[in-house]
Structure 1
Amino acid sequence: MTRIQANLVLLLAAAIWGGGFVAQSTAMDKIGPFWFVGLRFGIATLAVLPFALMEARKAKAPLSKNGLLSFIAVGLALFGGAITQQIGLISTTVTNSSFLTGLYVVFVPVISVIALRRYPHWIIWPAAVLALFGIFLLSGGELASLTRGDALTIVCAFFWGIQIILAGLFVSSTGRPLALSACQFAVCSILCLAIGLFIEPIDLAAISAASREILYVGLISSGLAFVLQVIGQRYTTAPQAAILLSSEALFGALLGALLLGEKLPPLGYVGCAVLFAAMLLVELVPELTRRRSRLSNA
């Protein structure tokens, strides 16, 4: 897979996640967040597990203990991001949630430098700022005073940043994207269901009422999109992946307007253009730099 193809895969994952914001929001009228996230990733685990087992049979060597522990670490980061985002959606809008979740576009390169001493291509920094500005414009250039849901979504963005970095790091070192996906889904599901048993009542009627949302985010937004993420990240860097995945804010805002009646302000359309420009910069500038380098060395 080429880097351009990988980036298109990541863009598709972002579009699917954008639609997931709507399903996640409407589900909170029917079911508690821990049961929702637990069932969501339980379904995703079952959907990906057969493919992960096929991947294991074709692998040259079994997954090591360190590899399994690394996958569990990704699952813990996924749990932190998924549950804080879901609880946040109880008291914030789809547009605000998608905007604030997009803060991981800034967290990823900062965490990469601090924790891994990995310095990305210089274009990542201005592109990250540009993407963040574009996401900000999607909200109309202003946000109401922060609610509890907004604050939780900022925490969620930090966890997503960690998850993106760890997923990219460990999928490259193990070459087992489907095993990573199945393991992180299972860890997140088990933790949420275990907590949900103690703090949220078991209500089969609520599960039935939210079944469409659970199936969408379980099979499509989780099972498919997260697999696309880890596959795409095998062929690109974490900061570049973060820029592309941040376009979920664009899709979330547009679908929130179309399906939930949340209005996209005039500045929002400018934000779409700015975000698209940031993605083009991330895509084109490194490629042009490499071509010039090859020509100068030829």
Structure 2
Amino acid sequence: MSVLTSNLLLLLTAAIWGFAFVAQRVGMDYVGPFTFNGVRFALGAFSLLPVMFFFKEKPEDRDNAKHELKSVVGAGVLAGSVLFLGASLQQIGLVYTTAGKAAFITCLYIVLVPMIGIFFKQYISLTTWFGSIITIVGLYLLCVKDSFYISYGEVLELVGAFFWTVHILVIDRFSRKVDVLKLSFFQFITCSVLSLITALFIETINIETLKDALVPILYGGICSVGIAYTLQVVGQKHAQPSHAAIILSMETVFAAIGGWIILNEKLGVQELLGCAIMLVGMLLSQLNNINKPQSADDELILNVTDSNLDKNRGGIRCD
């Protein structure tokens, strides 16, 4: 597969994840956030089963697989619990803010991961610092109003971005030790169970409303998780992680476009400027990694892309 083909697959992945924010926003018209997440993450988990079957272990590896199962379940539960917090805050925040804003704020993890990497003695370049400052300026223009007021939904998305960052670091730790597909499956199941349990206590789960939200739920579960995840895995085999991170960050642009076309969400001049500045800042934070040989010390920063599959995403990840 050529590099161009890989990049196009990653761009398609970004488009699917971006429009997933729109699907999540539409779903809120019919069901509660925890019900929506519970069902879509269950669909996302089961959509991975065909991929897991395709990449199943060879007979000689089955003994190792059985030994690994306990580790991957534990890692999946931990990652799924963090994913539940990030996805819940993102979904609730979408009730109070636009799909475009939610996507841009969520993608702050691109900046936050290398920043938190400081505590793990990771090298932070000047371009990363500069990109981070630019991103904060853009975030201010996007979210803060004339009276220095930031909406409730935007606050939830900001807190959620922190949990997406923690989730990426958790995945970064365990993805090297256990099978990534199994890890994804168990974390999605964990997130689904926690979401549905919460929904049983604070929301009304109704079959009729679920039918009304069927299309956004199917898109959020099967397309955003199952299909986009597979495209990402295939695309990243022939793409540099830093290049992939930049391409996948375009999901923010697709989310804003989708919100404008489908939901008639319009951003003002200040908000559009904020989006543009944030995008520039996020791209600058990855600039130092382009064409740079990857070392063990760089992996935490570059593995933003490797872990991005769990947003959403939506997506996330949706993600």
* C-alpha contact (below 8 Å) 2:76/2:187 kept by paired residues: yes
Percent identity of equivalent pairs = 38
Distance (whole Å) between structure 2 residues aligned to residue 73 and residue 194 of structure 1: 17
Q: Which residue of 1 aligns with 2:87?
A: 82
What is the aligned-residue RMSD (CA, Å)?
3.5
Distance (whole Å) between structure 2 residues aligned to residue 6 and residue 118 of structure 1: 28
Distance (whole Å) between structure 1 residues aligned to residue 107 and residue 220 of structure 2: 19
Distance (whole Å) between structure 1 residues aligned to residue 246 and residue 116 of structure 2: 14
Work out which of the residue numbers 173, 185, 205 in structure 2 matches 1:182.
Answer: 185
Q: Which residue of 2 aligns with 1:295?
A: none
How far does residue 20 in structure 1 lie from its aligned partner after superposition?
0.9
* C-alpha contact (below 8 Å) 1:127/1:282 kept by paired residues: yes
- Per-residue CA deviation, residues 137-180 of structure 1 (Å, 9 max, x unaligned), is 6x498587223222211111111111222223322333x23222
- Would you say how many aligned residue pairs link Structure 1 and Structure 2? 287
Distance (whole Å) between structure 2 residues aligned to residue 272 and residue 96 of structure 1: 8
Structure 1 residues 227 and 190: CA distance shift in structure 2, 3 A: farther
AA at the equivalent of 1:158: F
- More helix per residue: 1 or 2? 1
Structure 1 residues 3 and 272: CA distance shift in structure 2, 3 A: farther
Q: Point out where structure 2 has 5 or more consecutive residues left out of the alignment.
A: 295-319
Structure 1 residues 232 and 178: CA distance shift in structure 2, 3 A: farther
Q: Which residue of 2 aligns with 1:192?
A: 195
Distance (whole Å) between structure 2 residues aligned to residue 284 and residue 161 of structure 1: 19
Distance (whole Å) between structure 2 residues aligned to residue 129 and residue 2 of structure 1: 35
Q: Which residue of 2 aligns with 1:294?
A: none
How far does residue 279 in structure 1 lie from its aligned partner after superposition?
6.3
Distance (whole Å) between structure 1 residues aligned to residue 149 and residue 29 of structure 2: 23
Q: Which residue of 2 aligns with 1:261?
A: 264
Structure 1 residues 184 and 140: CA distance shift in structure 2, 3 A: closer
Alignment of structure 1 residues 241-252 onto 2, 5 Å? 245-252=248-255
How far does residue 250 in structure 1 lie from its aligned partner after superposition?
1.7
How far does residue 133 in structure 1 lie from its aligned partner after superposition?
4.7
Q: Which residue of 1 aligns with 2:50?
A: 50
- Per-residue CA deviation, residues 30-78 of structure 1 (Å, 9 max, x unaligned), is 1111111000011111110232244342484312533332232221221
- SS of structure 1 residue aligned to 2:30: coil
Q: TM-score, normalised by structure 1?
A: 0.79
Matched, 1:168 2:172: yes
* C-alpha contact (below 8 Å) 1:102/1:249 kept by paired residues: yes
Alignment of structure 1 residues 136-285 onto 2, 5 Å? 139=142, 145-174=149-178, 176-228=179-231, 245-266=248-269, 274=277, 277=280, 281=284, 285=288
Structure 1 residues 94 and 287: CA distance shift in structure 2, 3 A: closer
Structure 1 residues 25 and 169: CA distance shift in structure 2, 3 A: same
- Per-residue CA deviation, residues 164-201 of structure 1 (Å, 9 max, x unaligned), is 22223322333x23222212211111111122122212
* C-alpha contact (below 8 Å) 1:123/1:285 kept by paired residues: yes
